[in-house]
Structure 1
Amino acid sequence: MTDTLEATNATRNDRVKVWDPAVRVFHWSLMTAFAVAYFTADDAGVVHQWSGYAALALVAFRLLWGVIGTRHARFSDFVPRPAKLADYVRRMIRGLEPRYLGHNPAAAIMILFLSLATAVIGVSGWLLTTDWGWGSEVLEEVHETTVNIILVAIALHVGAAIYESFRHRENLIRSMFTGYKRR
């Protein structure tokens, strides 16, 4: 019994809380809102629209949380300067990139890109429902093209999370559920 308790304490001491509940709920909620909007695009107009509005609200929340949130949620903690990003990419190409407790510089850029692309999709979709944008082929093209671009970015994001998980021997997908990473 004592051995089990010591092993449990050692495991707990080896982990650190990185992702707060707001970041984790945002992440999985945005994924869900996007998936619902994507798969209901042609069949369920109201569901499609409201899942798009939910995605926009989530991005707005994340922008706010990126300023006032917990340490690793704040943009000041993870958005890199160009030189830091370039150095990280050079190291990554050589297989020498350092492990980050929070987001690495490349992941930070992906987060910013996904947020911006989601906003473009949401705003263009909303504009398509207004008198001003109704029937606009340009807006429809922006909306659909950005969806296709974000699908590629999502694939890269998931692939990078899997790569990083193997590379640094840490299950990043699990950490986005539990909030904990290796110390």
Structure 2
Amino acid sequence: MNTSVSSPSAAGGATRAADAATRVRVWDVPTRVFHWTFALCFAGAWLTSDSERLRDLHVMLGYTFAGLAAFRVLWGLVGTRYARFASFIFSPRELVAYVKSLLAMKPRHYLGHNPAGAIAIFAMLGLAALIALSGFATYQDIGGEWLEELHEGAASTMLAIVFVHIAGVGVSSLLHRENLVRAMLTGNKPGTPAQGIRQTHRIVGAVLLAAVLGFWWSYQTGATDAWLPQLTTTADRHHDAD
């Protein structure tokens, strides 16, 4: 049984109203640091994707994006209750039931990720791997034009999922009368004490943020040149040949 599921909205409205006075910790610090830095890296990489002048920034954000995705996979295995993949793996029947409850304007309430959100997370992690690998190959001039097209197509698909995810967060916030954006900032949601996580892992979150900022500083100062592959493109090779 999925431990993140609470009672249906239709039957649990009174329960949630009573629980509203009690806010419990749901999202640990590493999950929140990942969420916002991952979003920042994707947005930044998307905005710099067509700029040759900002190519180094695009590549730096791409490396960070890939590293964050790898961390999230690890944290999905060893993290806290609602961060673990096991807490939001739903059957097709559960997904259909959730969609039906949404259409009926009486959505089931989940303290952690709901089935629709879970699909978005797995899709984004899978696309992140595809974007990172195809982007690395493109800047190493491996595979030809088809890999560049794959990179752009995967990024466009990711952007579409992001927009759907944002819309879903807005709809869920309205229907459940809870601010999901604020919850991902503070880590708290209305619930009973037994539903909250015990540890927030602030040290892990601080180390993750320090690693991101440290990598950015090292990349900008050239300290990563000794161990990161030097990226080249066909355009660079033609320029060198000239």
- TM-score (structure 2 length as normaliser): 0.68
Aligned partner of 1:144 in structure 2 is 152
The correspondence for 2:46, drawn from 19, 38, 57, is 38
The correspondence for 2:96, drawn from 72, 80, 86, is 86
Kindly indicate whether the alpha-carbon contact (under 8 Å) linking 2:107 and 2:175 is maintained by their aligned counterparts in 1. Answer: no
Deviates more, 1:27-36 or 1:123-132: 123-132
Higher helix share: 1
Q: Structure 1 residues 153 and 131 mapped into 2: Cα distance closer, same or farther (>3 Å)?
A: closer
Query: Using the alignment, how far apart are the partners of 2:57 and 2:141 within structure 1?
Result: 20
Query: Using the alignment, how far apart are the partners of 1:169 and 1:96 within structure 2?
Result: 12
Question: Which ranges of structure 2 fall in alignment gaps of 5 or more residues?
Answer: 1-17, 192-242
Correspondence 1:28 to 2:51: no
Kindly indicate whether the alpha-carbon contact (under 8 Å) linking 2:130 and 2:151 is maintained by their aligned counterparts in 1. Answer: yes
Deviates more, 1:150-159 or 1:57-66: 150-159
Aligned partner of 2:86 in structure 1 is 76
- Give, in angstroms, the shift of residue 109 of structure 1: 0.5
Query: Using the alignment, how far apart are the partners of 2:58 and 2:89 within structure 1?
Result: 31
Please tell me the residue identity of whatever aligns with 1:112. F
Query: Using the alignment, how far apart are the partners of 1:163 and 1:85 within structure 2?
Result: 17
- Give, in angstroms, the shift of residue 78 of structure 1: 1.0
Aligned partner of 2:180 in structure 1 is 172
Asked which structure has the greater RCO (Cα within 8 Å, sep 6+), the reply is 2
Identity percentage over the alignment? 42
Show CA shifts across 1:54-92 (max 9, x none).
111101000000000000000001121222112212222
SS at match of 2:132: helix
SS at match of 2:183: helix
Kindly indicate whether the alpha-carbon contact (under 8 Å) linking 2:19 and 2:190 is maintained by their aligned counterparts in 1. Answer: no
- Paired positions, count: 172
